[in-house]
Structure 1
Amino acid sequence: MSFTLLKPSTLLVALGLSATLILSGCASTGSGLLGGASADPRLTSGSDAQFFSKSGFQACATGAGVAALACLASNAGNKPACMLVAGIAACGVAMGGNYYLDQRRSEYANTNERLKAITSDVQADTQRIVARTETAYAVIQDDKRHLAQIQKQIATKQMDEAKAKTELAQIDQNIEVMNRDLANMTKRAEEYEKVAQQERSDGANKNNVAKLDKDIANMRSKINVLQSEVASLYDQRNAIKLG
Protein backbone atom coordinates (compact mmCIF):
# COMPACT_ATOMS: atom_id res chain seq x y z
CA MET A 1 0.00 0.00 0.00
CA SER A 2 1.36 3.43 -0.90
CA PHE A 3 0.43 6.89 0.29
CA THR A 4 0.53 10.17 -1.60
CA LEU A 5 1.63 13.26 0.28
CA LEU A 6 -0.97 15.95 -0.23
CA LYS A 7 0.08 19.42 -1.25
CA PRO A 8 -0.38 21.98 1.58
CA SER A 9 -3.37 23.59 -0.13
CA THR A 10 -5.10 20.24 -0.65
CA LEU A 11 -4.27 19.16 2.87
CA LEU A 12 -5.74 22.31 4.35
CA VAL A 13 -9.02 21.76 2.50
CA ALA A 14 -9.19 18.24 3.92
CA LEU A 15 -8.37 19.55 7.37
CA GLY A 16 -11.04 22.21 7.16
CA LEU A 17 -13.68 19.69 6.13
CA SER A 18 -12.79 17.36 8.97
CA ALA A 19 -12.40 20.05 11.63
CA THR A 20 -16.13 20.45 12.18
CA LEU A 21 -16.47 16.78 13.05
CA ILE A 22 -13.46 16.91 15.32
CA LEU A 23 -14.51 20.07 17.10
CA SER A 24 -18.00 18.74 17.70
CA GLY A 25 -17.19 15.11 18.40
CA CYS A 26 -13.73 14.97 19.94
CA ALA A 27 -13.59 18.00 22.21
CA SER A 28 -15.10 16.23 25.20
CA THR A 29 -11.99 14.21 26.00
CA GLY A 30 -12.22 12.04 29.08
CA SER A 31 -15.93 12.69 29.47
CA GLY A 32 -17.00 9.11 29.95
CA LEU A 33 -18.64 8.74 26.55
CA LEU A 34 -18.64 4.96 26.97
CA GLY A 35 -20.60 5.17 30.18
CA GLY A 36 -17.61 5.09 32.52
CA ALA A 37 -16.32 7.58 35.03
CA SER A 38 -15.40 11.12 33.99
CA ALA A 39 -11.96 12.59 34.39
CA ASP A 40 -11.45 15.64 36.59
CA PRO A 41 -12.80 18.74 34.77
CA ARG A 42 -9.50 20.50 35.35
CA LEU A 43 -7.93 17.99 32.95
CA THR A 44 -10.60 18.26 30.27
CA SER A 45 -11.37 21.97 30.15
CA GLY A 46 -9.40 25.18 29.99
CA SER A 47 -6.80 26.55 27.59
CA ASP A 48 -4.23 23.82 28.20
CA ALA A 49 -6.63 20.87 28.05
CA GLN A 50 -7.11 20.49 24.30
CA PHE A 51 -3.60 21.23 23.03
CA PHE A 52 -2.11 17.88 24.03
CA SER A 53 -5.34 15.88 23.97
CA LYS A 54 -4.94 14.91 20.32
CA SER A 55 -2.07 14.09 18.04
CA GLY A 56 -1.28 14.13 14.37
CA PHE A 57 -4.17 14.72 11.97
CA GLN A 58 -6.77 15.44 14.69
CA ALA A 59 -4.68 18.12 16.38
CA CYS A 60 -3.81 19.70 13.06
CA ALA A 61 -7.35 19.59 11.73
CA THR A 62 -8.80 21.21 14.83
CA GLY A 63 -6.35 24.11 14.76
CA ALA A 64 -6.45 24.50 10.99
CA GLY A 65 -10.25 24.49 10.91
CA VAL A 66 -10.45 27.29 13.46
CA ALA A 67 -7.74 29.25 11.65
CA ALA A 68 -9.48 28.80 8.29
CA LEU A 69 -12.79 30.04 9.67
CA ALA A 70 -11.00 33.09 11.09
CA CYS A 71 -9.59 33.88 7.65
CA LEU A 72 -13.00 33.55 6.01
CA ALA A 73 -14.46 35.97 8.53
CA SER A 74 -11.61 38.46 8.14
CA ASN A 75 -10.95 41.17 5.56
CA ALA A 76 -7.90 39.36 4.21
CA GLY A 77 -7.38 40.18 0.53
CA ASN A 78 -6.25 36.68 -0.39
CA LYS A 79 -8.34 34.40 1.79
CA PRO A 80 -7.04 31.11 0.35
CA ALA A 81 -3.47 32.20 1.09
CA CYS A 82 -4.50 33.35 4.55
CA MET A 83 -6.11 29.96 5.22
CA LEU A 84 -3.01 28.12 4.06
CA VAL A 85 -0.58 30.11 6.19
CA ALA A 86 -2.88 30.05 9.24
CA GLY A 87 -3.46 26.34 8.83
CA ILE A 88 0.25 25.56 8.67
CA ALA A 89 0.85 27.66 11.78
CA ALA A 90 -1.93 25.81 13.59
CA CYS A 91 -0.52 22.40 12.66
CA GLY A 92 3.01 23.05 13.84
CA VAL A 93 4.92 19.83 14.39
CA ALA A 94 1.74 17.84 15.03
CA MET A 95 1.72 16.52 11.46
CA GLY A 96 5.29 15.27 11.72
CA GLY A 97 8.78 16.70 11.61
CA ASN A 98 9.27 16.32 7.85
CA TYR A 99 6.05 18.16 6.98
CA TYR A 100 6.76 20.84 9.57
CA LEU A 101 10.32 21.38 8.36
CA ASP A 102 9.21 21.58 4.72
CA GLN A 103 6.75 24.32 5.64
CA ARG A 104 9.27 26.23 7.71
CA ARG A 105 11.73 26.05 4.82
CA SER A 106 9.12 27.43 2.46
CA GLU A 107 8.66 30.38 4.84
CA TYR A 108 12.31 30.96 5.76
CA ALA A 109 14.92 30.43 3.06
CA ASN A 110 17.55 31.79 5.44
CA THR A 111 18.65 28.90 7.67
CA ASN A 112 19.43 31.04 10.71
CA GLU A 113 16.05 32.78 10.56
CA ARG A 114 14.34 29.41 10.19
CA LEU A 115 16.15 27.97 13.20
CA LYS A 116 15.07 30.98 15.24
CA ALA A 117 11.44 30.35 14.24
CA ILE A 118 11.69 26.64 15.08
CA THR A 119 13.35 27.42 18.41
CA SER A 120 10.52 29.84 19.17
CA ASP A 121 7.99 27.08 18.43
CA VAL A 122 9.80 24.70 20.78
CA GLN A 123 9.82 27.31 23.54
CA ALA A 124 6.09 27.99 23.06
CA ASP A 125 5.26 24.28 23.26
CA THR A 126 7.45 23.97 26.36
CA GLN A 127 5.48 26.72 28.07
CA ARG A 128 2.28 24.84 27.23
CA ILE A 129 3.79 21.73 28.84
CA VAL A 130 4.63 23.74 31.96
CA ALA A 131 1.06 25.06 32.16
CA ARG A 132 -0.34 21.56 31.65
CA THR A 133 1.97 20.20 34.35
CA GLU A 134 0.75 22.80 36.84
CA THR A 135 -2.86 21.77 36.18
CA ALA A 136 -2.01 18.08 36.37
CA TYR A 137 -0.01 18.51 39.57
CA ALA A 138 -2.99 20.03 41.36
CA VAL A 139 -5.13 17.08 40.30
CA ILE A 140 -2.43 14.58 41.26
CA GLN A 141 -2.09 16.01 44.76
CA ASP A 142 -5.85 15.83 45.28
CA ASP A 143 -5.93 12.27 43.92
CA LYS A 144 -3.12 11.19 46.23
CA ARG A 145 -5.03 12.49 49.25
CA HIS A 146 -8.15 10.78 47.98
CA LEU A 147 -6.30 7.49 47.53
CA ALA A 148 -4.93 7.65 51.07
CA GLN A 149 -8.47 8.21 52.34
CA ILE A 150 -9.86 5.33 50.28
CA GLN A 151 -7.15 2.99 51.49
CA LYS A 152 -7.79 3.95 55.10
CA GLN A 153 -11.55 3.50 54.77
CA ILE A 154 -11.12 0.10 53.12
CA ALA A 155 -8.81 -1.02 55.95
CA THR A 156 -11.31 0.09 58.63
CA LYS A 157 -14.30 -1.38 56.77
CA GLN A 158 -15.82 2.08 56.31
CA MET A 159 -15.99 1.64 52.52
CA ASP A 160 -17.20 -1.40 50.63
CA GLU A 161 -15.67 -2.70 47.41
CA ALA A 162 -18.37 -1.30 45.13
CA LYS A 163 -17.95 2.21 46.52
CA ALA A 164 -14.17 1.93 46.28
CA LYS A 165 -14.36 0.88 42.63
CA THR A 166 -16.57 3.87 41.83
CA GLU A 167 -14.20 6.34 43.47
CA LEU A 168 -11.10 4.73 41.99
CA ALA A 169 -12.61 4.86 38.51
CA GLN A 170 -12.29 8.64 38.31
CA ILE A 171 -8.67 8.49 39.39
CA ASP A 172 -8.06 5.87 36.73
CA GLN A 173 -9.60 8.22 34.18
CA ASN A 174 -7.34 11.03 35.35
CA ILE A 175 -4.28 8.82 34.93
CA GLU A 176 -5.45 7.81 31.46
CA VAL A 177 -5.87 11.44 30.36
CA MET A 178 -2.47 12.42 31.71
CA ASN A 179 -0.76 9.44 30.09
CA ARG A 180 -2.36 10.36 26.78
CA ASP A 181 -1.08 13.91 27.13
CA LEU A 182 2.38 12.61 27.97
CA ALA A 183 2.39 10.45 24.85
CA ASN A 184 1.51 13.43 22.66
CA MET A 185 4.07 15.66 24.37
CA THR A 186 6.75 13.02 23.86
CA LYS A 187 5.78 12.69 20.21
CA ARG A 188 6.20 16.44 19.73
CA ALA A 189 9.65 16.35 21.32
CA GLU A 190 10.64 13.44 19.08
CA GLU A 191 9.54 15.30 15.96
CA TYR A 192 11.47 18.41 16.98
CA GLU A 193 14.53 16.22 17.52
CA LYS A 194 14.15 14.90 13.97
CA VAL A 195 13.94 18.47 12.68
CA ALA A 196 17.11 19.47 14.54
CA GLN A 197 18.94 16.41 13.25
CA GLN A 198 17.90 17.13 9.68
CA GLU A 199 19.05 20.74 9.91
CA ARG A 200 22.35 19.54 11.35
CA SER A 201 22.78 17.00 8.56
CA ASP A 202 22.05 19.69 5.97
CA GLY A 203 24.88 21.85 7.28
CA ALA A 204 23.10 24.42 9.45
CA ASN A 205 25.18 26.59 11.78
CA LYS A 206 26.33 24.36 14.65
CA ASN A 207 25.80 27.01 17.31
CA ASN A 208 22.23 27.67 16.18
CA VAL A 209 21.40 23.97 16.07
CA ALA A 210 23.00 23.58 19.52
CA LYS A 211 20.62 26.28 20.82
CA LEU A 212 17.71 24.37 19.34
CA ASP A 213 19.01 21.12 20.88
CA LYS A 214 19.20 22.83 24.27
CA ASP A 215 15.61 24.04 24.07
CA ILE A 216 14.38 20.60 22.99
CA ALA A 217 16.29 19.07 25.92
CA ASN A 218 14.55 21.56 28.20
CA MET A 219 11.21 20.45 26.74
CA ARG A 220 12.15 16.85 27.46
CA SER A 221 13.04 17.72 31.05
CA LYS A 222 9.62 19.35 31.57
CA ILE A 223 7.92 16.26 30.16
CA ASN A 224 9.96 14.09 32.51
CA VAL A 225 8.76 16.13 35.49
CA LEU A 226 5.15 15.41 34.63
CA GLN A 227 5.91 11.79 33.82
CA SER A 228 7.46 11.32 37.25
CA GLU A 229 4.43 12.83 38.98
CA VAL A 230 2.00 10.66 37.03
CA ALA A 231 4.09 7.55 37.73
CA SER A 232 4.01 8.34 41.44
CA LEU A 233 0.22 8.63 41.36
CA TYR A 234 -0.06 5.38 39.37
CA ASP A 235 2.09 3.52 41.92
CA GLN A 236 -0.08 4.72 44.81
CA ARG A 237 -3.25 3.81 42.90
CA ASN A 238 -1.89 0.41 41.93
CA ALA A 239 -1.13 -0.40 45.56
CA ILE A 240 -4.86 -0.53 46.32
CA LYS A 241 -6.03 -4.06 45.56
CA LEU A 242 -9.68 -4.95 45.52
CA GLY A 243 -11.06 -8.49 45.64
Structure 2
Amino acid sequence: MPQRIAIVTGAARGIGLATARLLVSQGAGVALVDRDAEELAKVAENLGLALPYDVSVPDQVEQMVDDTLKHFGRIDTLVNNAGVADFAPIEGTTFERWRRVMETNLDGVFLCSQAATPALRASKGSIVNIASISGLRASTLRVAYGTSKAAVMHLTQQQASELGEYGIRVNCVCPGPVRTKLAMAVHSQEIIDAYHDAIPLNRYGTEDEIARVIAFLTSDDASYVTGQIISVDGGFQSTGIGLPALRQ
Protein backbone atom coordinates (compact mmCIF):
# COMPACT_ATOMS: atom_id res chain seq x y z
CA MET A 1 0.00 0.00 0.00
CA PRO A 2 1.38 3.47 -0.88
CA GLN A 3 2.50 5.54 2.09
CA ARG A 4 0.50 8.58 1.02
CA ILE A 5 -2.89 8.83 -0.72
CA ALA A 6 -3.91 11.86 -2.75
CA ILE A 7 -7.00 13.03 -4.58
CA VAL A 8 -6.25 15.28 -7.56
CA THR A 9 -9.17 16.97 -9.28
CA GLY A 10 -9.05 18.15 -12.86
CA ALA A 11 -6.57 15.35 -13.44
CA ALA A 12 -7.32 14.39 -17.04
CA ARG A 13 -4.87 16.92 -18.45
CA GLY A 14 -2.57 19.87 -17.75
CA ILE A 15 -1.36 20.72 -14.26
CA GLY A 16 -3.63 18.13 -12.65
CA LEU A 17 -2.27 15.28 -14.73
CA ALA A 18 1.33 16.45 -14.24
CA THR A 19 0.73 16.56 -10.48
CA ALA A 20 -0.82 13.10 -10.41
CA ARG A 21 2.11 11.65 -12.35
CA LEU A 22 4.66 13.30 -10.07
CA LEU A 23 2.95 12.12 -6.90
CA VAL A 24 2.77 8.57 -8.23
CA SER A 25 6.48 8.73 -9.11
CA GLN A 26 7.11 9.70 -5.48
CA GLY A 27 5.29 6.61 -4.25
CA ALA A 28 1.82 8.00 -3.60
CA GLY A 29 -1.47 6.37 -4.48
CA VAL A 30 -3.63 8.78 -6.45
CA ALA A 31 -7.33 9.11 -7.19
CA LEU A 32 -7.65 11.08 -10.42
CA VAL A 33 -10.90 13.02 -10.70
CA ASP A 34 -12.30 14.66 -13.84
CA ARG A 35 -15.72 15.05 -15.42
CA ASP A 36 -14.21 14.26 -18.83
CA ALA A 37 -14.66 10.53 -18.36
CA GLU A 38 -13.27 9.54 -21.77
CA GLU A 39 -10.01 11.44 -21.44
CA LEU A 40 -9.64 10.44 -17.79
CA ALA A 41 -9.91 6.76 -18.66
CA LYS A 42 -7.08 7.14 -21.17
CA VAL A 43 -4.61 8.87 -18.87
CA ALA A 44 -5.45 7.07 -15.62
CA GLU A 45 -4.70 3.61 -16.95
CA ASN A 46 -1.76 2.20 -14.97
CA LEU A 47 -1.55 5.50 -13.06
CA GLY A 48 -4.24 5.49 -10.41
CA LEU A 49 -7.93 5.27 -9.56
CA ALA A 50 -10.07 7.02 -12.19
CA LEU A 51 -13.12 8.81 -10.75
CA PRO A 52 -15.26 10.47 -13.46
CA TYR A 53 -17.03 12.98 -11.24
CA ASP A 54 -17.99 16.66 -11.42
CA VAL A 55 -16.65 18.64 -8.45
CA SER A 56 -19.53 21.12 -8.66
CA VAL A 57 -22.14 18.44 -7.87
CA PRO A 58 -22.37 17.71 -4.10
CA ASP A 59 -23.51 14.09 -4.46
CA GLN A 60 -20.68 13.31 -6.86
CA VAL A 61 -18.15 14.91 -4.53
CA GLU A 62 -19.35 12.74 -1.66
CA GLN A 63 -19.04 9.69 -3.92
CA MET A 64 -15.52 10.78 -4.88
CA VAL A 65 -14.44 10.68 -1.24
CA ASP A 66 -16.28 7.42 -0.54
CA ASP A 67 -14.73 5.68 -3.54
CA THR A 68 -11.24 6.84 -2.58
CA LEU A 69 -11.62 5.60 0.97
CA LYS A 70 -13.01 2.26 -0.20
CA HIS A 71 -10.11 1.79 -2.61
CA PHE A 72 -7.20 3.12 -0.56
CA GLY A 73 -8.50 3.21 3.03
CA ARG A 74 -7.32 6.77 3.77
CA ILE A 75 -6.78 10.24 2.29
CA ASP A 76 -3.65 12.26 3.05
CA THR A 77 -3.84 14.99 0.43
CA LEU A 78 -6.46 16.83 -1.60
CA VAL A 79 -5.34 18.88 -4.60
CA ASN A 80 -8.21 21.12 -5.72
CA ASN A 81 -7.10 21.74 -9.29
CA ALA A 82 -10.32 21.41 -11.32
CA GLY A 83 -11.22 24.67 -12.99
CA VAL A 84 -12.75 26.32 -16.02
CA ALA A 85 -11.78 29.52 -17.82
CA ASP A 86 -14.20 31.89 -19.50
CA PHE A 87 -12.71 35.13 -20.73
CA ALA A 88 -15.19 37.84 -21.67
CA PRO A 89 -15.82 41.55 -21.01
CA ILE A 90 -18.02 42.42 -18.05
CA GLU A 91 -20.90 43.45 -20.31
CA GLY A 92 -20.66 40.16 -22.18
CA THR A 93 -20.57 37.96 -19.08
CA THR A 94 -24.08 36.64 -18.51
CA PHE A 95 -25.08 35.31 -15.13
CA GLU A 96 -25.09 31.81 -16.62
CA ARG A 97 -21.44 32.23 -17.68
CA TRP A 98 -20.59 33.69 -14.26
CA ARG A 99 -22.18 30.74 -12.45
CA ARG A 100 -20.51 28.19 -14.74
CA VAL A 101 -17.12 29.52 -13.67
CA MET A 102 -18.00 29.89 -9.99
CA GLU A 103 -19.58 26.47 -9.57
CA THR A 104 -16.38 24.70 -10.59
CA ASN A 105 -13.61 27.11 -9.57
CA LEU A 106 -15.03 28.12 -6.18
CA ASP A 107 -17.93 25.85 -5.23
CA GLY A 108 -15.88 22.81 -6.23
CA VAL A 109 -13.02 23.77 -3.91
CA PHE A 110 -15.45 24.30 -1.03
CA LEU A 111 -17.36 21.06 -1.63
CA CYS A 112 -14.30 18.83 -2.10
CA SER A 113 -12.51 20.26 0.93
CA GLN A 114 -15.55 19.92 3.15
CA ALA A 115 -16.21 16.35 2.04
CA ALA A 116 -12.59 15.29 2.55
CA THR A 117 -12.12 17.00 5.92
CA PRO A 118 -13.09 14.02 8.13
CA ALA A 119 -10.55 11.79 6.37
CA LEU A 120 -7.89 14.53 6.43
CA ARG A 121 -8.50 15.02 10.17
CA ALA A 122 -7.74 11.34 10.68
CA SER A 123 -4.50 11.53 8.68
CA LYS A 124 -3.53 15.10 9.66
CA GLY A 125 -3.29 15.68 5.96
CA SER A 126 -3.08 18.65 3.62
CA ILE A 127 -5.03 20.56 1.00
CA VAL A 128 -3.53 22.47 -1.93
CA ASN A 129 -5.90 24.78 -3.78
CA ILE A 130 -4.97 25.95 -7.27
CA ALA A 131 -5.79 29.60 -7.97
CA SER A 132 -4.09 31.91 -10.48
CA ILE A 133 -2.18 35.14 -10.73
CA SER A 134 -5.44 36.41 -12.27
CA GLY A 135 -6.80 36.34 -8.74
CA LEU A 136 -3.91 38.45 -7.44
CA ARG A 137 -3.94 41.24 -10.00
CA ALA A 138 -6.91 42.37 -12.09
CA SER A 139 -6.82 42.25 -15.87
CA THR A 140 -9.26 42.58 -18.74
CA LEU A 141 -11.75 39.84 -19.71
CA ARG A 142 -11.40 38.03 -16.37
CA VAL A 143 -14.31 39.29 -14.29
CA ALA A 144 -15.56 35.77 -13.52
CA TYR A 145 -12.32 33.83 -13.70
CA GLY A 146 -10.21 36.33 -11.76
CA THR A 147 -12.88 36.83 -9.10
CA SER A 148 -13.27 33.07 -8.63
CA LYS A 149 -9.54 32.65 -8.14
CA ALA A 150 -9.32 35.57 -5.70
CA ALA A 151 -12.08 33.89 -3.71
CA VAL A 152 -10.14 30.60 -3.71
CA MET A 153 -7.18 32.39 -2.13
CA HIS A 154 -9.30 33.80 0.67
CA LEU A 155 -11.03 30.44 1.12
CA THR A 156 -7.56 28.90 1.51
CA GLN A 157 -6.79 31.19 4.43
CA GLN A 158 -10.18 30.55 6.00
CA GLN A 159 -9.55 26.82 5.75
CA ALA A 160 -6.01 27.10 7.11
CA SER A 161 -7.23 29.13 10.09
CA GLU A 162 -9.96 26.67 11.02
CA LEU A 163 -8.57 23.30 9.96
CA GLY A 164 -5.17 23.91 11.51
CA GLU A 165 -6.77 22.90 14.81
CA TYR A 166 -6.94 19.38 13.37
CA GLY A 167 -3.39 19.38 12.02
CA ILE A 168 -4.59 19.93 8.46
CA ARG A 169 -2.40 22.25 6.39
CA VAL A 170 -3.98 24.29 3.58
CA ASN A 171 -2.02 26.26 0.98
CA CYS A 172 -2.66 27.82 -2.39
CA VAL A 173 -0.61 27.81 -5.60
CA CYS A 174 -1.11 30.60 -8.14
CA PRO A 175 0.30 29.61 -11.53
CA GLY A 176 1.34 32.27 -13.98
CA PRO A 177 1.40 31.72 -17.76
CA VAL A 178 1.96 28.02 -18.38
CA ARG A 179 2.91 26.40 -21.68
CA THR A 180 -0.07 24.11 -22.05
CA LYS A 181 -1.49 22.85 -25.34
CA LEU A 182 -4.54 25.06 -24.85
CA ALA A 183 -2.49 28.18 -24.14
CA MET A 184 -0.30 27.65 -27.18
CA ALA A 185 -3.38 27.11 -29.33
CA VAL A 186 -5.12 30.34 -28.33
CA HIS A 187 -2.20 32.71 -27.68
CA SER A 188 -1.12 34.65 -30.73
CA GLN A 189 2.58 35.27 -31.33
CA GLU A 190 1.99 38.85 -30.22
CA ILE A 191 0.60 37.69 -26.89
CA ILE A 192 3.44 35.17 -26.44
CA ASP A 193 6.01 37.88 -27.10
CA ALA A 194 4.27 40.26 -24.69
CA TYR A 195 4.23 37.64 -21.93
CA HIS A 196 7.92 36.94 -22.44
CA ASP A 197 8.64 40.66 -22.19
CA ALA A 198 6.64 41.00 -18.97
CA ILE A 199 7.92 37.88 -17.16
CA PRO A 200 11.29 38.42 -15.45
CA LEU A 201 12.40 34.89 -16.37
CA ASN A 202 11.39 35.63 -19.99
CA ARG A 203 9.42 32.44 -20.59
CA TYR A 204 6.25 30.53 -19.84
CA GLY A 205 6.31 27.99 -17.05
CA THR A 206 5.71 24.29 -17.53
CA GLU A 207 3.10 22.02 -16.05
CA ASP A 208 5.85 20.03 -14.34
CA GLU A 209 7.25 23.16 -12.66
CA ILE A 210 3.84 23.88 -11.14
CA ALA A 211 3.42 20.24 -10.13
CA ARG A 212 6.72 20.23 -8.23
CA VAL A 213 5.59 23.12 -6.02
CA ILE A 214 2.26 21.40 -5.39
CA ALA A 215 4.04 18.16 -4.48
CA PHE A 216 6.33 20.02 -2.08
CA LEU A 217 3.35 21.53 -0.28
CA THR A 218 1.80 18.09 0.17
CA SER A 219 5.01 16.64 1.58
CA ASP A 220 6.47 16.48 5.07
CA ASP A 221 9.11 18.96 3.91
CA ALA A 222 6.35 21.59 4.16
CA SER A 223 5.13 20.42 7.58
CA TYR A 224 5.12 23.96 9.04
CA VAL A 225 3.72 25.72 5.97
CA THR A 226 0.03 26.59 5.98
CA GLY A 227 -2.21 29.45 4.94
CA GLN A 228 0.23 30.54 2.23
CA ILE A 229 -0.47 31.93 -1.24
CA ILE A 230 2.47 30.99 -3.47
CA SER A 231 2.89 32.41 -6.96
CA VAL A 232 4.67 30.12 -9.41
CA ASP A 233 4.99 32.54 -12.28
CA GLY A 234 8.58 33.40 -13.12
CA GLY A 235 8.15 36.69 -11.28
CA PHE A 236 5.18 37.77 -13.41
CA GLN A 237 2.95 38.77 -10.49
CA SER A 238 5.46 41.39 -9.43
CA THR A 239 5.23 43.08 -12.84
CA GLY A 240 1.43 43.10 -13.33
CA ILE A 241 -0.73 41.28 -15.86
CA GLY A 242 -2.35 44.05 -17.92
CA LEU A 243 -0.67 43.33 -21.24
CA PRO A 244 -1.68 45.53 -24.19
CA ALA A 245 -1.84 42.50 -26.50
CA LEU A 246 -4.53 40.95 -24.30
CA ARG A 247 -6.80 43.99 -24.59
CA GLN A 248 -7.39 43.65 -28.30
TM-score (norm 1): 0.27
With a CA cutoff of 8 Å and minimum separation of 6, indicate the structure with the bigger relative contact order. 1
| Structure label with greater radius of gyration | 1
Looking at secondary structure, tell me which structure has more strand per residue. 2
